[in-house]
A and B are shown apart, each in its own frame.
Chain A
Amino acid sequence: MSENTNQKTTNEMSHKPDGTAKHIFAFIVMIALTAAAFYLVATDVVPENMILPLILVFAVIQVFLQLFTFMHLNQKGSAFYTIFMIAGIVIAVVSALGILLM
């Protein structure tokens, strides 16, 4: 039988910052970047050869927001996590470009 000890502790920590506001802000930026990418493709506001670089930049910004806010890579003690991810991304980019340009 699981007891509900968690309920009574809620009051004492309501003053603790938990980053919820920051996360919601990051989410709004991500939604805006996604909407902008879809808008650029659906309309002709920019020349066709500019669309790919622009939406790629939007995607990369979104991924950094995910990694550093939602996945907490901005916190202390994340050095090894970041090293693993950078190593993965470096091998990933080399692999993808290698296959693509083969």
Chain B
Amino acid sequence: MASHIHPNDRPKQPGHLETATFEGKNKVLGFWLFLGAETVLFACLFGTYLALRNANMGGPTTQQLYDLKLVGLATFFLLTSSLTSVLAMNAMNRLKQGAMQFWLGVTVLLGLAFLILEIYEFVHYVHEGHTFTSSAFGSSFYALVGTHGAHVTFGLAWIMTLMIQTARRGLTYEMAPKLFVSSLYWHFIDVVWVFIFTLVYLLGKVG
């Protein structure tokens, strides 16, 4: 399967494998440009939500809807997955493929747990009469939190497919930047979540 990979493509020394090649450097650089743009996307959704969060049209208010225990648990899952993601990158740069795959697996499981909690939360809200079309609050809430959830879903699919690719090709100079930018993406998802739990859920409870 991996017979077309030249032995020189397999790193012998630990270090920053993700920027060891010109292609890798460009991938990481381009990915940071993308993350800068993503920041603007989410900021617009945050601004919209904060402007419309009290326009609930007689439906449930933020105080009535949000459950801090559930959000706290979801936050813990996502924050821990960010740590396991960086541990996977540390293992990668020490050329420990098995440890890297293990930590990526833990990251995926924690991300899945987060996603399940979020789906449960959304289903519960819909039963409470808080839907995408019920009010401006509903539209802006699902647009913001849903866009984040879509990022989590995409990130999980990305990491899982990279795990399969690494299992088949091994840890090469070509794989390392791919794994590294997927890890950057995952940290960015956590960064966005920090603002969601602060500005959406905690602020919603304060009023």
Chain A residues engaging chain B, CB cutoff 8 angstroms = 1-7, 9-10, 13, 16, 18-20, 23-24, 27, 30-31, 34, 37-38, 41-42, 48, 51-52, 55-56, 58-59, 62-63, 66-67, 69-71, 75, 77, 80-81, 84-85, 87-89, 91-93, 95-100, 102
Provide the residues of chain B in CB contact with A100, threshold 8 Å: 47, 50-51
Residues of B with C-beta under 8 A to A4: 97, 170
Q: Is A55 a contact of B32 with CB atoms below 8 Å?
A: no
| In the complex, chain B residues whose CB is within 8 Å of the CB of A63 | 191, 194-195
| B37 engages A41 (CB within 8 Å) | no
| Nearest CB in chain B to that of A18: its residue | B90
Asked if B36 is at the interface (CB within 8 A of a chain A CB), the reply is yes
Question: Is the beta-carbon distance between A19 and B90 smaller than 8 angstroms?
Answer: yes
**Pair B40/A91 contact, Cβ less than 8 Å:** yes
Q: Assess the A55–B198 pair: CB atoms within 8 A.
A: yes
The CA-CA distance from A32 to B70 in the complex, in Å, is: 18
A62 to B85, CA, bound (A): 16
Q: Is B182 an interface residue (CB 8 A)?
A: no
Do A38 and B169 have beta carbons less than 8 Å apart? Answer: no
User: Counting CB contacts under 8 A, is B178 at the interface?
Assistant: no
Tell me the complex Cα distance, A87–B46, Å.
18
The answer for the CA separation of A35 and B70 in the assembled complex, in Å, is 13
Chain B residue nearest in CB terms to A48: B206
> Is residue B109 within 8 Å, beta carbon to beta carbon, of the partner chain?
no
For B10, the closest partner residue in chain A by CB is A5
Chain B interface, number of residues (Cβ within 8 angstroms): 65
**Interface membership of chain B positions 17-43, coded 1 if the CB is closer than 8 angstroms to chain A and 0 otherwise:** 001000000001100110111111011
CA–CA, A34 and B35, complex, Å: 23
Contact A2 B194 (CB under 8 A): no
A19 to B16, CA, bound (A): 12
Can you pick out 16 interface pairs between chain A and chain B where the beta carbons lie within 8 Å of each other? Answer: A18-B94, A23-B87, A34-B79, A34-B194, A38-B72, A51-B202, A55-B203, A56-B198, A58-B198, A63-B194, A66-B190, A69-B86, A75-B16, A80-B29, A95-B47, A100-B50
Does B83 lie within 8 Å of A27, measured CB to CB?
yes
Do the beta carbons of B43 and A96 come within 8 Å of each other? yes
Q: How far apart sit A41 and B198, CA to CA, in the bound complex (Å)?
A: 10
- With a cutoff of 8 Å between Cβ atoms, the chain A residues found around residue B187 in the complex are 66, 70-71
Whole-angstrom distance between the alpha carbons of A92 and B188 in the complex?
A: 15
Across the interface, which residues of B come within 8 angstroms of A88, CB to CB?
Answer: 35-40
